[in-house]
Amino acid sequence: MAGNDGVGFEVLHEAPGIAATAAERVYGAPLRFPARPGPFVAANFVSTIDGVVSLGRTEGDDSSVVGMHAVADRYLMAMLRAAADVVLVGAGTLRAAVGHAWTAATLAPDYADHLAAYRRALKRPAGSATLAIVSGSGRLPEHVVLSRPQVNVVIVTTSTGQATVRSAFPDARVLAVGEGEAIAGRDIVELLRRELAAHVIVCEGGPRLLGSLLRDRAVHQLFLTVAPQLAGRDGEHPRPALIEGLAAEPPDLPAAALLSVRRAADHLFLRYQLQR
C-alpha cells in the first residue's frame, strides 16, 4: 500500500490480522506487541547487504546514508517510536545523529496525524516516547536533544559516570546503575521498567548496546532493514556490523524465527522473533 508521500510496502510474508489504524494500513498489517510482566524489547536497525550498520560518518546522516534515505525505512522507524514507551540509544548513536530530535513526526512528517492516532490506539502516553541515552562513562557530546529537547530525556549511566554527566549537563535526569563503565543489558531494561514504567522499549543502536542486550537475552524482536548496497571495510574503516562486543559460541548463537517480510523498491524489511 502506498501513502501520499511515496511510502509503499509490498507484503511478502506476514501473520494474518486486521490493520486497525491508518498508520498500520500504510504498513500493510497490524504492528502490535504482546503484553507481558516485564518490558518488551524490540531492536530496529538498518544495514547494507554485507551487514554494515555504520559508515562512521559524523555529519549527522550516518544511518540515513546506510539506509539510502529510504522513505519506507524512516516510516517504519517512526511507527516503532510511536509504539514505544522508551526509545533506547547509546552515546555513539547520539554522536552520529547531530541535530536529530528523536520524535516519530521528525521521520515521517506527512504522517504525523496517522502516527499520533496509532500511539493513542496503543494507549501510550500523549506526545513522544522518552529517549534513554546509555553511556557507562557518562561522556556525552553536546546535542540538541540534551540542550533543547523535544522529548523527555533520561541518561542511563553508572555510579562512576553520573558525576561526569551532571558536570556537563546539570539539568539532565540521570539514572545510575552498576559501577565502572559497563552496564549489563538486563540492568538497563530493569532500570527502565522500575523508573519509567516502560512496557515497550525500542533500541535504535548502536551495535555495542545491542550486543549487551543480546548477551542477557533481553531482546524479544528484531526489525532489520536491508538496504540494497555494499559497504565493505578495511583497516582504516572497520565499520561495525549489527552486533559488537559479543561473540557467541556455537551452542549459544541466538536463533530467530522470521515473522514478516516486506519490500519497498529494493529494500527488504525483516521482522524476527528471537528465541530466548
Average pLDDT for 108-136: 97
pLDDT for residue 4 is more than 60: no
The answer to whether 110 and 74 have CB atoms below 8 angstroms apart is no
pLDDT attached to residue 2:
45
The answer to whether 42 and 82 have CB atoms below 8 angstroms apart is no
Average pLDDT for 20-35: 96
Q: Is residue 251 one of the residues assigned to a domain?
A: no
pLDDT attached to residue 1:
41
Average pLDDT for 159-180: 94
Name the band, by pLDDT with cuts 50, 70 and 90, for residue 78. very high
Q: What tens digit of pLDDT does each residue of 179-222 get?
A: 888 899 999 999 999 999 999 999 999 999 999 999 999 999 99
Q: Is residue 43 one of the residues assigned to a domain?
A: yes
* Structural domain span for residue 99: 38-230+256-275
Q: Is residue 15 one of the residues assigned to a domain?
A: no
pLDDT attached to residue 57:
87
pLDDT attached to residue 5:
53
Q: What tens digit of pLDDT does each residue of 136-163 get?
A: 999 999 999 999 999 999 999 999 999 9
* pTM, entire model: 0.95
pLDDT attached to residue 178:
87
The answer to whether 90 and 208 have CB atoms below 8 angstroms apart is yes
Q: Is residue 120 one of the residues assigned to a domain?
A: yes
Q: What tens digit of pLDDT does each residue of 253-272 get?
A: 999 999 999 999 999 999 99
Average pLDDT for 100-117: 96
| Separation of alpha carbons 86 and 41, rounded Å | 10
pLDDT attached to residue 3:
44
Q: Is residue 27 one of the residues assigned to a domain?
A: no
* Torsion angles phi and psi, residue 245, rounded to 5: 80, 10
Q: In sequence order, what are the residues at sequence separation of 6 or more whose Cβ sits closer than 8 angstroms to the Cβ of residue 17?
A: 29, 30
Q: Is residue 16 one of the residues assigned to a domain?
A: no
Residue with cell 511515496: 6
Q: Is residue 73 one of the residues assigned to a domain?
A: yes
Q: What tens digit of pLDDT does each residue of 221-238 get?
A: 999 999 999 999 999 999
* Number of domains present in the structure of the chain: 1
pLDDT attached to residue 208:
96
Average model confidence (pLDDT) across the chain:
94
Average pLDDT for 36-54: 96
| CATH number, residue 192 | 3.40.430.10
The answer to whether 157 and 174 have CB atoms below 8 angstroms apart is yes
Is 174 buried (19+), middle (13-18) or exposed (0-12) by CB count in 10 A?
A: middle
pLDDT for residue 276 is more than 90: no
Q: Is residue 8 one of the residues assigned to a domain?
A: no
Q: Where are the alpha helices (DSSP H) in the chain?
A: 22-27, 62-66, 71-83, 91-95, 104-107, 112-121, 144-147, 162-168, 185-196, 207-215
